[in-house]
Structure 1
């Protein structure tokens, strides 16, 4: 009998003692989406990666049953499934240099990696959210995919370089054209307890635009 997607998934769920709802919450999908997998379906590429990461499995093995079952010990060297690639998770300091340096980071320089579809520029990277200035939509520990080659539009979320040459992550809002003919924009926190930053009041440079948000869910102890 040919093993199904659920046949590969279920033992890992049992090992974590997760039911369907706990698993659905952990990877950000609906209860019914997991039920469909249980009943003979499978996840698409993005949710397959989320499921594999949550359960410590190799995304390629989970999707096809081929290759190594467990995620490799060193995440920086495990192969990406076909059609996928690895993105480095880099520091705020590294991200703050993206516009200035030809090579601000090497593929192995990140402190972690994320698997994702190979549809972003070669210099795309993930940033990990710190603090609570972007609550409730972005929580500490969440990761956002930033692409330096995508120009932001009003309402987009961006990483921008501040005066400390670090990257800060905020909502992008255009305010017009300044006296020098440059676009004036604001970096807006979602948490009202934090101030809005304006490019005509301090030096701010947009580093890149968010393409994807991966949420960290609180796990039961």
Structure 2
């Protein structure tokens, strides 16, 4: 069962997986350039540059060369190589059962739909959920698939699949001293506040570590 405003989250790839990011950032700072200026000088789209600098999907070899040439760097910065992993896609009902059983989604299970590939490093029990609703618009669209890893720690501000009184949804997660606050990206949905001394059945199923975009 899922809430009306269920939707996915945000991709979260750490910069340490991309060894050239820090070098690029330092060179930009030295030149006083932002992503827009680097895009203009290199011919690589600003969106591609911004995504890479934030720890998202790595650049292609051609774009990598254009960027380091524009910055005046030697071609000695390694291009990240990531091997895709096949992730099972399960239903929201199974996600709820996952929470009830407090067990990980079994390794190797095919899931309820076609599996998807993810380039993000995940644990063996990661699974995908197809997004429904509009609570995370405009960043995440219905039909996208959120890759959820139950073994990754859920820090404040991270996007998580949560279980509240029998319903499963995806929210921004904030853990305060006396309460848990769940937020949507879409402003039309109010925050959900759960007091820690209440009897609300709440738990975090897993953190969203990647989003596979739906192509129309």
- TM-score bucket of the superposed structures, by smaller chain: 0.5 to 0.7
User: What is the rounded CA distance, in whole Å, between the counterparts of 1:88 and 1:111 in structure 2?
Assistant: 8
Q: Which residue of 2 aligns with 1:52?
A: none
How many equivalent residue pairs?
A: 142
Aligned pair 1:84/2:79, yes or no?
Answer: no
Q: Which residue of 2 aligns with 1:123?
A: 125
Matched position secondary structure for 1:93: helix
The structure-2 alpha-carbon separation of the partners of 1:102 and 1:203, relative to structure 1 and needing over 3 Å to count, comes to: closer
Unaligned runs of 5+ in 1: 1-27, 31-35, 44-81, 178-183
Unaligned runs of 5+ in 2: 1-46, 50-58, 65-81
TM-score by length of 2: 0.55
Contact 1:96–1:160 at 8 Å: present in 2 too?
A: no
RMSD: 3.2
Q: Which has the higher contact order (CA 8 A, sep 6+)?
A: 2
Q: Which residue of 1 aligns with 2:154?
A: 152
1:136-151 aligned within 5 A: 136-151=138-153
Q: Which residue of 2 aligns with 1:211?
A: 209
1:1-221 aligned within 5 A: 41=62, 83-99=83-99, 100-102=101-103, 104=105, 107-117=109-119, 119-164=121-166, 166-177=167-178, 184-200=179-195, 202-217=200-215, 219=216
Over 3 Å off, 4+ runs: 40-43, 101-106
User: What is the rounded CA distance, in whole Å, between the counterparts of 2:158 and 2:174 in structure 1?
Assistant: 8
The C-alpha deviation readout for 1:69-98, integer Å capped at 9, x for no partner, is xxxxxxxxxxxxx93321011111111222
TM-score by length of 1: 0.54
The structure-2 alpha-carbon separation of the partners of 1:170 and 1:102, relative to structure 1 and needing over 3 Å to count, comes to: closer
